[in-house]
C-alpha cells in the first residue's frame, strides 16, 4: 500500500499512471478503523482496479469542538488493517493541506430539507461540512465509485444529492451496516463507551428491531413514543427517533403500506452520541 499525504501527490499519481476513472474505488473515512470501514474496502476491492481510502478528521463537519478533539485516532493500526484488506493507496492529508486557503466554505450546497432534519437539526452545518470535504476529495481523486456505509443513512442521501448537484460522474455504492454480535452498529465512537455503557448501547439496535417487529401492529406515532420511552428508561438521552420514507427521509404519518420505511435514532449514553437506523420493510 502506498501512503500519500499531499493532494497534489495523489492527483499526480492518478494522472501519471493514466488510471481510468471508472476503475477507481474510493472509501473516505475519519480513521479509528473497524470492520464496518473494512467491509467498504473489501467491496471496493472486488469492483475496482485501484482502491483508495482516505483518513481525515474533517474539522468543518463537527459542531461540537469536544467531539472533534476527542475523536479517536489509531493511525498505525489503521495502516495495518487497510494493507491487510487490500487497499492500494491511503491518502492521509493534513488540515492545512486540505484547506490551504482556510476552511471557510467557498460554496453552499442546496441539500433541501436534508440539511435541517434529523442529523441536520441537531448538528447544524454538519452536512455542509461533509459536502465540502467529500467534494474536495472527489475532485482530487475523480473515482468512478464512492463507497459509503448505510450506518450514516442521511449522509448517503446528502452525498448523492451533492454529487448530482456538482455533476460528477461518480456512482455511490451503499454498503450494509456491520454490527457487533449483540447488534450494536460498529462505530469509531464505541471505544469511548465504558464497560457498562457498552452493554447498554445494544439497546439502540434492540429498540429499532422493536419498531420493525411492530410496524404493522401499532400506530407510527405510538410506536415512536414507545421506543422513546424504552430508551429513556434505560438511561439514554434521545435526540430523535424518526420513521421516515427511505427514499427522501420525509416523516411518515400514515403509511401507505408500500413505500420503504426506515427508522432512525440518535441518542446519548452519558457523553457519547450514537446513531443507528434500520430499514423496516
The stretches of the chain forming alpha helices (DSSP H) are: 7-16, 35-47, 65-69, 75-85, 95-98, 119-122, 126-141, 153-166, 195-201, 203-214, 220-233
- Residue from the set 14, 19, 25, 36 that interacts with ligand AMP by CB under 6 A: 36
Number of other residues whose CB lies within 10 A of the CB of residue 269: 22
- Residue 25 interacts with ligand AMP (CB under 6 A): yes or no: no
191 neighbors 200 (Cβ within 8 angstroms) = no
Pairing type for strands 145-149 and 171-175 reads parallel
Which stretch in 74-82, 120-128, 144-152, 220-228 sits in contact with ligand AMP by CB under 6 A? 144-152
Q: Which residue, 27 or 227, is less far from ligand AMP as judged by CB?
A: 27
Residue 4's DSSP bridge partners are 91
How many chain residues are in contact with ligand AMP, going by CB under 6 A? 17
- Residue 151 interacts with ligand AMP (CB under 6 A): yes or no: yes
Pairing type for strands 50-55 and 89-91 reads parallel
The string of DSSP letters for 103-119 reads SS-S-----GGGGTSTH
Catalytic position from the list 6, 34, 37, 126: 37
Copy the grid coordinates of residue 105.
466554505
For the sheet with 272-279, list strands across it. Answer: 237-245, 261-269, 272-279
- Residue 82 interacts with ligand AMP (CB under 6 A): yes or no: no
- Residue 175 interacts with ligand AMP (CB under 6 A): yes or no: yes
- Residue 145 interacts with ligand AMP (CB under 6 A): yes or no: no
Pairing type for strands 261-269 and 237-245 reads antiparallel
Closest contact distance (angstroms) between CB of 255 and ligand AMP is 26
Q: Which residue, 53 or 223, is less far from ligand AMP as judged by CB?
A: 53
Residue 264's DSSP bridge partners are 242, 277
Which stretch in 11-19, 184-192, 230-238, 241-249 sits in contact with ligand AMP by CB under 6 A? 184-192
- Residue 126 interacts with ligand AMP (CB under 6 A): yes or no: no
- Residue from the set 19, 24, 26, 37 that interacts with ligand AMP by CB under 6 A: 37
Which stretch in 165-173, 174-182, 191-199, 206-214 sits in contact with ligand AMP by CB under 6 A? 174-182
Pairing type for strands 89-91 and 2-4 reads parallel
- Residue 40 interacts with ligand AMP (CB under 6 A): yes or no: yes
| Catalytic annotation present for 37 | yes
Distance CA 271, CA 67 (A): 9
- Residue 39 interacts with ligand AMP (CB under 6 A): yes or no: yes
77 neighbors 33 (Cβ within 8 angstroms) = yes
- Residue 178 interacts with ligand AMP (CB under 6 A): yes or no: yes
Closest contact distance (angstroms) between CB of 274 and ligand AMP is 11
Which stretch in 90-98, 113-121, 146-154, 253-261 sits in contact with ligand AMP by CB under 6 A? 146-154
Binding site for ligand AMP (CB under 6 A): 29-30, 36-37, 39-40, 148-149, 151-152, 175, 177-178, 185-188
Residue positions annotated with a catalytic role: 37
Amino acid at each position: 500500500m502506498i501512503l500519500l499525504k499531499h493532494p497534489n501527490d495523489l492527483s499526480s499519481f492518478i494522472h501519471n499512471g493514466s488510471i481510468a476513472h471508472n476503475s477507481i474505488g474510493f472509501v473516505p473515512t475519519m480513521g479509528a478503523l473497524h470492520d464496518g470501514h473494512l467491509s467498504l474496502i473489501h467491496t471496493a476491492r472486488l469492483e475496482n482496479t485501484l482502491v483508495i481510502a482516505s483518513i481525515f478528521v474533517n474539522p468543518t463537519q463537527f459542531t461540537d469542538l469536544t467531539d472533534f478533539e476527542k475523536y479517536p485516532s489509531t493511525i498505525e493500526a489503521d495502516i495495518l488493517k487497510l494493507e491487510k484488506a487490500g487497499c492500494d493507496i491511503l491518502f492521509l492529508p493534513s488540515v492545512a493541506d486540505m484547506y490551504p486557503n482556510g476552511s471557510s466554505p467557498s460554496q453552499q450546497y442546496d441539500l433541501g430539507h436534508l440539511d435541517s432534519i434529523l442529523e441536520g437539526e441537531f448538528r447544524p452545518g454538519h452536512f455542509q461540512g461533509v459536502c465540502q470535504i467529500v467534494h474536495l476529495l472527489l475532485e482530487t481523486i475523480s473515482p468512478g465509485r464512492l463507497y459509503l456505509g448505510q450506518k450514516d443513512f442521511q449522509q448517503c442521501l446528502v452525498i448523492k444529492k451533492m454529487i448530482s448537484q456538482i455533476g460528477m460522474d461518480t456512482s455511490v455504492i451503499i454498503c450494509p451496516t456491520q454490527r457487533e454480535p449483540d447488534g450494536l452498529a460498529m462505530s469509531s465512537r464505541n471505544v469511548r463507551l465504558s464497560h457498562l455503557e457498552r452493554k447498554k448501547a445494544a439497546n439502540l439496535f434492540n429498540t429499532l428491531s422493536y419498531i420493525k417487529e411492530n410496524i404493522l401492529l401499532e400506530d407510527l406515532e405510538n410506536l415512536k413514543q414507545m421506543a422513546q420511552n424504552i430508551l429513556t428508561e434505560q438511561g439514554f438521552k434521545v435526540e430523535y427517533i424518526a420513521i421516515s420514507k427511505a427514499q427522501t427521509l420525509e416523516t411518515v404519518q400514515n403509511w401507505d403500506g408500500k413505500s420503504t420505511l426506515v427508522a432512525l435514532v440518535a441518542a446519548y449514553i452519558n457523553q457519547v452520541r450514537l446513531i443507528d437506523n434500520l430499514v423496516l420493510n
